[in-house]
């Protein structure tokens, strides 16, 4: 099979590794009661299922379904977020955004009060420009007014903030960072005066100007790519792009891979599992985006996999998984069709591995345990499959996931199970350097050839 790939220059690979070592650990505020967004938020967003075709009954019925289907309190999806198209096309005479009188006749405060009464939180949408992406009023030059409206008057807990209808440079005079900082500052100032926790601020500027480098100072999540589609090509492309900055997610700040498409389009079960695993393990927010009145049992099973969700919501380890080997392609290859396949990271309960089969046919996927930086040399590990929910024996030195389905995933949790057995003819060293000479050496100076 011919694979077309853009090879990243070797010098970039070394720059990338150097960047990984220099990423600062985020400062955690001492007064955690004033903070929001320590973990990736979970919930529902209206856009992927309904686009502009929304109204107050649909939103509230969706909230009720979140509870009755066991997605809310039972699993953790606790935000119900309204996306674009909820307002009138013009602001009021006094300058406020108005909820659409036909589709939200009872008003937003009535709706948020009812959703809050279900034990859920609520989210709303606006834009950093003159208009939203569907040409409804944006928030540029109205940041303080709109933050007060959304949070204090309407009662929303989260703001998704988009990047359309950008004003002329001569008006903005701040650049992308400054344009988004206007609303960030308005939210922070409002929290100080109101005495309430700030709205969770979710930036949506599609990965322009590397938000993983600066958006943590402004909000709790930042989109990293263009909009998602309900197809494998879109999912693979998003995974590929995020492989180069997966390190940026940590407590209080997360790469946002966009809303989930599980239950939409023609995604296979294997593709849905890969989609959910990648979004969860990379510590992206998890927002359901399908019609819950018609959701299949298969989609619900994927969305309610609590073993996968536990990695996303880990209270002890903030960063997600990163690639340790690209697999089909050379390491650090940008390839939207065949992204990095072998990933690992830490968790509260052990080392997690994500193996993605990007091929159109089943494949065995092999790795040496010590390819992951989180594995201790000279130890063996128990293997837990987080999709079959089975314990799969003990791995010594390496592991092979057999017959991973096309576009499928193996999601594994490895736990330390003690010292390696000493009677199986193992080399004294599992790890060695690629240039050929044995890297392992006895204390008396004898070089050891790995076996």
> Residues 250, 319: contact at Cβ < 8 Å?
yes
Tokens encoding 219: 């909000």
Q: How far apart are CA 264 and CA 28, in angstroms?
A: 37
**Residues with Cβ < 8 Å from 159, sequence gap 6 or more?**
123, 124, 125, 126, 147, 150, 151, 183, 187, 199, 200, 201, 202
Three-class SS of 35-69: CCCCCCCEEEECHHHHCCCCCHHHHHHHHHHHHHC
Residue 9 token pair: 């220059």
Length of the chain: 451
DSSP of 141-161, one letter per residue?
T-HHHHHHIIIIIS--SEEEE
Return the structure tokens found at 244: 């180069």
Catalytic residue status for 227: yes
CB atoms within 10 A of CB 365: 20
From the list 227, 291, 331, 385, the catalytic residue is 227
Name the one residue in this structure whose structure tokens are 């992308």: 176
Contact 206, 222 (CB under 8 A): no
Q: How far apart are the first and last CA of the chain?
A: 31
Give bridge partners of residue 394 from the DSSP assignment.
382
Choosing from 84, 127, 157, 162, the catalytic residue is 162
The catalytic residue positions are: 162, 227
């Amino acid at each position: 099979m011919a694979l077309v790939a853009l090879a990243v220059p070797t010098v970039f690979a070394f720059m990338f590794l150097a960047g990984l070592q220099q990423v600062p650990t985020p400062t955690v505020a001492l007064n955690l009661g004033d903070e929001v967004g320590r973990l990736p938020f979970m919930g529902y967003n209206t856009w992927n299922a309904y686009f502009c075709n929304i109204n107050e009954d649909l939103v509230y019925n969706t909230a009720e379904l979140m509870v009755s289907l066991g997605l809310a309190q039972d699993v953790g999806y606790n935000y119900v977020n309204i996306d674009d198209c909820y307002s009138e096309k013009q602001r009021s005479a006094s300058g406020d955004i108005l909820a659409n009188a036909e589709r939200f006749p009872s008003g937003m405060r009535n709706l948020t009060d009812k959703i809050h009464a279900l034990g859920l939180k609520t989210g709303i949408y606006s834009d950093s420009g003159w208009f939203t992406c569907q040409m409804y009023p944006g928030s540029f030059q109205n940041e303080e007014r709109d933050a007060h409206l959304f949070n204090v008057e309407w009662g929303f807990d989260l703001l998704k903030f988009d990047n359309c209808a950008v004003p002329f440079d001569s008006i903005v005079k701040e650049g992308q960072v400054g344009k988004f900082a206007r609303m960030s500052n308005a939210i922070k100032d409002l929290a100080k005066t109101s005495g309430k926790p700030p709205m969770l601020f979710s930036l949506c500027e599609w990965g322009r100007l590397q938000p993983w480098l600066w958006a943590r100072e402004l909000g709790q999540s930042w989109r990293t790519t263009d909009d998602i589609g309900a197809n494998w090509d879109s999912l693979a492309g998003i995974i590929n792009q995020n492989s180069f900055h997966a390190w940026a997610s940590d407590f209080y700040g997360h790469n946002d891979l966009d809303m989930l498409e599980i239950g939409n389009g023609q995604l296979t079960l294997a593709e849905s599992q890969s989609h959910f695993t990648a979004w969860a393990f990379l510590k992206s927010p998890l927002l359901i985006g399908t019609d819950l009145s018609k959701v299949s049992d298969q989609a619900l099973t994927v969305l309610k996999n609590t073993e996968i969700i536990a990695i996303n919501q880990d209270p002890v380890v903030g960063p997600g998984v990163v690639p340790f080997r690209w697999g089909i392609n050379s390491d650090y290859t940008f390839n939207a069709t065949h992204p990095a396949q072998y990933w690992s990271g830490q968790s509260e309960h052990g080392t997690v591995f994500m193996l993605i089969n990007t091929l159109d046919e089943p494949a065995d996927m092999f790795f040496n345990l010590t390819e992951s930086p989180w594995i201790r040399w000279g130890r063996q590990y128990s293997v837990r499959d987080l999709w079959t929910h089975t314990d799969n024996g003990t791995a010594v030195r390496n592991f092979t996931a057999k017959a991973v389905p096309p576009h499928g995933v193996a999601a594994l949790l490895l736990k330390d199970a003690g010292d390696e057995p000493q009677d199986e003819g193992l080399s004294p060293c599992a790890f060695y350097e690629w240039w050929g000479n044995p890297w392992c050496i006895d204390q008396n100076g004898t070089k050891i050839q790995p076996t």
